[in-house]
Structure 1
């Protein structure tokens, strides 16, 4: 396998763990990037737009490595849910997801030799109806302010609330590893 070293521009411990599980050699480098986006984009376009915007911040500093950036959003009833701003906002988001199907969309950008390779993945997540007590105790215990849609699939609310997933599990975690691997092995082709 001839994959160049990866620079991961993400503080997400979940993305880091997924790369470790894939036996990928990587280092983490961070920059603050404005994650705003123009109005009128589809949810898929938003995820890809932000992932590319994050990669553009590194364009002049990347050598022979692959800069990997990603952005995950949750979409329900036509609304894009990013990361909650407060615990109360997290509770509100989880109430919106309760008893419904929502989409988790991760946009990924691979910056390699000044070329941008962008792609995305979409998974559908089916949540059972959650009680306010289940939601409130989750938010208090897990502090999901760093998670799109206010939840982690691998944490309590995901374990007790998700009835079914259609699509990639790792995409819901925050990085579609199947698609990522395919893109990485074809970088030099």
Structure 2
């Protein structure tokens, strides 16, 4: 970026919530989404005996490295449309004890995850990387006990699909949340404090 230009970045994420949170900070951004041939989901595979904290940081760094290569390829093909700029990547996972709850494979998997989270505390971990610098946000969430009918209706709504831990804190599951200790924006997918701290050295002022 030119020192005289307004700061902006590439967001290498398909999450509309991360776009909304960057807008909330006033951070201008362009999407840098995976190409059709990229195995974006493959980067999220869990390694044997990997703890949730190590997992979410490793995956986020892997996504950032993939985004760097993606930008390099696009600049080689249509360079005038893809300026040099910082890249932001993030990844969120839900953990209960030391088990990682990723995105549910189907309705039954979503219902199983929600049953495990019912009436218990769990951790939500979101890692953010900007230009190789990483920050990790850890939040603790406690739900009230859910009935089988509540779980069934929530799964039927479709909201759990594509969400780590099979829920979205900003959605209907917010009615079950008794307590949060940590970052609400981090639970949504982009912790604003950690993100702002990473961006300040690159020219942003908050």
So what's the TM-score if we normalise by structure 2? 0.83
Query: Does residue 163 of the first structure (1) align with residue 193 of the second (2)?
Result: no
Confirm or deny: 8 A CA contact 2:159 2:167 kept in the other structure.
no
Distance in 2 separating the partners of 1:136 and 1:154: 19
1:37 shift after superposition: 4.0
Distance in 1 separating the partners of 2:90 and 2:199: 14
Distance in 2 separating the partners of 1:98 and 1:57: 36
1:89 alignment partner in structure 2? 109
Confirm or deny: 8 A CA contact 2:125 2:138 kept in the other structure.
yes
Confirm or deny: 8 A CA contact 2:128 2:194 kept in the other structure.
no
1:94 shift after superposition: 0.4
The two structures, once aligned, show a CA RMSD in angstroms of: 1.7
Matches within 5 A, 1:1-189: 4-31=7-34, 32=38, 33=40, 34=42, 35-60=44-69, 61=71, 64-111=84-131, 116-157=132-173, 159-187=174-202
Structure 2: segments with no counterpart, 5+ residues: 73-82
Q: Deviations over 1:22-47 (max 9, x none)?
A: 11100112114222243233211111
Structure 1: segments with no counterpart, 5+ residues: none
2:76 alignment partner in structure 1? none
Distance in 1 separating the partners of 2:194 and 2:147: 35
Q: Deviations over 1:27-69 (max 9, x none)?
A: 1121142222432332111111000101111224265311111
Confirm or deny: 8 A CA contact 1:4 1:64 kept in the other structure.
no
Distance in 1 separating the partners of 2:6 and 2:120: 39
Change (3 A) 1:51 1:161: same
Confirm or deny: 8 A CA contact 1:14 1:173 kept in the other structure.
yes
Secondary structure, counterpart of 2:186 in structure 1:
helix
Secondary structure, counterpart of 1:129 in structure 2:
coil
Return the index of the structure with the highest Cα Rg: 2
More helix by share: 2
Secondary structure, counterpart of 2:104 in structure 1:
coil
Distance in 2 separating the partners of 1:88 and 1:154: 22
